[in-house]
Chain A
Amino acid sequence: MTVCKIPFMTVAVPTTLDDAVRLLAEQPDAMLLAGGTDAMVEINDGHRRPDNLVIALNRVGDLRAWRHDTKRRTLTIGAGVTYTELMQEPIGRLAPALAEASRTVGSPQIRNAGTLGGNLGTCSPAGDGLPVLSALDAQVRIVSATGERTASVHDVMVGVKRTSLEPGELIAEIVLPVLDGWQGYAKVGVRNAMVIAIASACLVVDAESRHISIALGSVGPTVVRCPDAEQQLAAAVDWAASSVPPEALDEFAGLASSASRPITDHRSTADYRRHAVGVLGKRLARRAFTTEGGRT
């Protein structure tokens, strides 16, 4: 581990999770630096000034690993895995919605640096990977010097840029189910590349349990799930044929819109966001199922 220290600031670059956790225990309010794609923007803009310890995490090998447990049918992704890595085989095939969301993140430069753990730790309402984690009911393994705990991603994402992590805790891994069924992600931005989501949605179909999840981004303080819409669509699907009547899609869109709690800001209006998530929901469902009457 390399540590550089000047009177008011120390930057530590640990290479093991144990070292990282120990440093954090000594200074629980240390700034955790993953890919830097959120933190450095704040520092460059002068909105944030680290004033004692910065712990750089991008060299901790434990956080950059992932594993597929075929027996439990889970995909465990280290918090330091980058968006670029999430798009590659075989992870990309095991969590295709996450690969799609990763592709929408900024640029190759940002995808090479940004991490899933960082995305979750920042917990922006517009975080690109977060609707996917929510729709998959991801579990988050959180470590500290005193031990570890596993929490549902819904309990971790508390509000606008607020997680439930305590000082001294860091996100180690995110555990996703590997499901049998369609999953997809869509995101609205004003230009065709490099945009902060104005509205986003992730749809996950669990064909085995005949369950549907839809999670919406940028339409609430944090990711929004739509239980009414999920139940409606699951009930309307002909699971044997994997098809759904077109009217059910329109109803699904309406319920998704109703579940959203968007605001108006300089990027977009509440009306547009509410409308957009409905459209995204409908189109994702249309990709997941065939519509009765022949047309896909």
Chain B
Amino acid sequence: MTHEFFTLRVNGTDHEVADSWLGESLLDVLRDRIGLMGSKGACTQGECGSCSVMVDEVLVCSCLVMGASAVDQEIITIEGVAPIGSPSDVQQAFVDAGAVQCGFCTPGLVMAVHDLLERTETPTETEIREELAGNVCRCTGYGRIIDAVERVSVQRRATSQKESS
């Protein structure tokens, strides 16, 4: 079936995209067509991770996904992580640990950290560094971000221990 528009399912909602140039990246479609400004573009080469989103539960750079090819997939952006005003534990830990300075890398990092902790519950410092190596931050030097990740890992372990006892 051929259409003159395409539909993307973002954060559980369908969006019809009618006026895009089809070569546009998913990042451009999210920001310029759908109006979801949370994902950021800092390099458009997949080198910085600021545009990270989940597509069918896989972490990718949205600047490297052709928007029109992401049809029939579940796309989760930073806006879909938690309702405004009720930050996720990862988001809150970033704020508490001083892991946010200018904040431009932050949405992409929050996505990557959520993904990391889904796959590895208690990552070592080296594992954190390797799994987040695709997210570049120019402000923090990474120390407080690693602290934030470790805080969440510890908190989640404590919560699940409490729940199981």
Does A touch B (CB under 8 Å) in the complex?
Answer: yes
| Complex interface: chain A residues within 8 A of B131 (CB) | 108
Instruction: Name the one of A3, A56, A59 contacting B1, with C-beta atoms under 8 angstroms.
Output: A3
Question: Across the interface, do A40 and B2 meet the contact criterion of CB distance under 8 Å?
Answer: no
Minimum CB distance partner of A107 in chain B: B134
Known A-B contacts A107-B133, A109-B46; the reply to A13 vs B69 at CB < 8 A is: yes
Known A-B contacts A9-B21, A106-B134; the reply to A36 vs B64 at CB < 8 A is: yes
Question: Across the interface, do A11 and B69 meet the contact criterion of CB distance under 8 Å?
Answer: yes
Instruction: Name the one of B3, B45, B71, B115 contacting A44, with C-beta atoms under 8 angstroms.
Output: B45
User: Which residue, B6, B44, B49, B68, has most C-beta atoms of chain A within 10 A?
Assistant: B68
Q: Determine if B163 is an interface residue (Cβ-Cβ < 8 Å).
A: no
Q: Determine if A33 is an interface residue (Cβ-Cβ < 8 Å).
A: yes
- Render A19-63 as a binary contact track against B, CB cut-off 8 A, 1 for contact: 000000000000001011101110111000110001010110000
User: Nearest Cβ distance between residue B16 and chain A, in whole angstroms?
Assistant: 11
User: Nearest Cβ distance between residue A88 and chain B, in whole angstroms?
Assistant: 11
Bound CA span A4–B97, Å: 45
Question: Across the interface, do A43 and B69 meet the contact criterion of CB distance under 8 Å?
Answer: no
| Complex interface: chain A residues within 8 A of B117 (CB) | none
User: Which residue, B5, B21, B66, has most C-beta atoms of chain A within 10 A?
Assistant: B66
> Would you list which residues of chain A between 51 and 109 have a CB under 8 Å from chain B?
54, 56, 58-59, 84, 106-109
User: Which residue, A56, A109, A113, has most C-beta atoms of chain B within 10 A?
Assistant: A109
Bound CA span A109–B134, Å: 7
Question: Across the interface, do A40 and B112 meet the contact criterion of CB distance under 8 Å?
Answer: no
> Would you list which residues of chain A between 228 and 285 have a CB under 8 Å from chain B?
none
Question: Across the interface, do B115 and A36 meet the contact criterion of CB distance under 8 Å?
Answer: no
| Complex interface: chain B residues within 8 A of A146 (CB) | none
Question: Across the interface, do B25 and A40 meet the contact criterion of CB distance under 8 Å?
Answer: yes
- Render B114-145 as a binary contact track against A, CB cut-off 8 A, 1 for contact: 01100000000000001101110000000000
Instruction: Name the one of B2, B23, B72, B134 contacting A9, with C-beta atoms under 8 angstroms.
Output: B23
Q: Determine if A151 is an interface residue (Cβ-Cβ < 8 Å).
A: no
Interface residues of B, count at CB 8 A: 36
Question: Across the interface, do A2 and B46 meet the contact criterion of CB distance under 8 Å?
Answer: no
A-B contact count (CB 8 A): 120
Bound CA span A41–B134, Å: 16
Question: Across the interface, do A33 and B69 meet the contact criterion of CB distance under 8 Å?
Answer: yes
Question: Across the interface, do B66 and A40 meet the contact criterion of CB distance under 8 Å?
Answer: yes
Question: Across the interface, do B66 and A33 meet the contact criterion of CB distance under 8 Å?
Answer: yes
Bound CA span A5–B3, Å: 6
| Complex interface: chain A residues within 8 A of B6 (CB) | 2, 4, 11
| Complex interface: chain B residues within 8 A of A39 (CB) | 66
Bound CA span A3–B69, Å: 9
User: Which residue, A40, A49, A50, has most C-beta atoms of chain B within 10 A?
Assistant: A40
Instruction: Name the one of A49, A58, A110, A193 contacting B23, with C-beta atoms under 8 angstroms.
Output: A49
Interface residues of A, count at CB 8 A: 35
Instruction: Name the one of B47, B66, B135 contacting A56, with C-beta atoms under 8 angstroms.
Output: B66
The stretch that binds A, out of B31-39, B54-62, B80-88, B150-158, is: B54-62
Q: Determine if B42 is an interface residue (Cβ-Cβ < 8 Å).
A: no
Known A-B contacts A6-B4, A109-B134; the reply to A13 vs B71 at CB < 8 A is: yes
Known A-B contacts A108-B59, A108-B134, A109-B52; the reply to A36 vs B47 at CB < 8 A is: no
> Would you list which residues of chain B between 1 and 36 have a CB under 8 Å from chain A?
1-6, 21-23, 25
Question: Across the interface, do A59 and B22 meet the contact criterion of CB distance under 8 Å?
Answer: no
Minimum CB distance partner of B61 in chain A: A109
| Complex interface: chain A residues within 8 A of B47 (CB) | 106, 194
Instruction: Name the one of A4, A113, A193 contacting B22, with C-beta atoms under 8 angstroms.
Output: A4
| Complex interface: chain A residues within 8 A of B44 (CB) | 41, 44-45
Q: Which residues of B line the A interface, CB within 8 A?
A: 1-6, 21-23, 25, 44-47, 49, 52, 58-61, 63-66, 68-69, 71-72, 112, 115-116, 130-131, 133-135
Given A4-B4, A44-B45, A54-B68; 14 other pairs, CB 8 A cutoff? A2-B71, A2-B72, A4-B5, A33-B69, A41-B44, A44-B63, A50-B23, A56-B68, A58-B69, A107-B49, A107-B133, A109-B60, A110-B134, A193-B134
Q: Which residues of A line the B interface, CB within 8 A?
A: 2-6, 9-11, 13, 33, 35-37, 39-41, 43-45, 49-50, 54, 56, 58-59, 84, 106-110, 112-113, 193-194
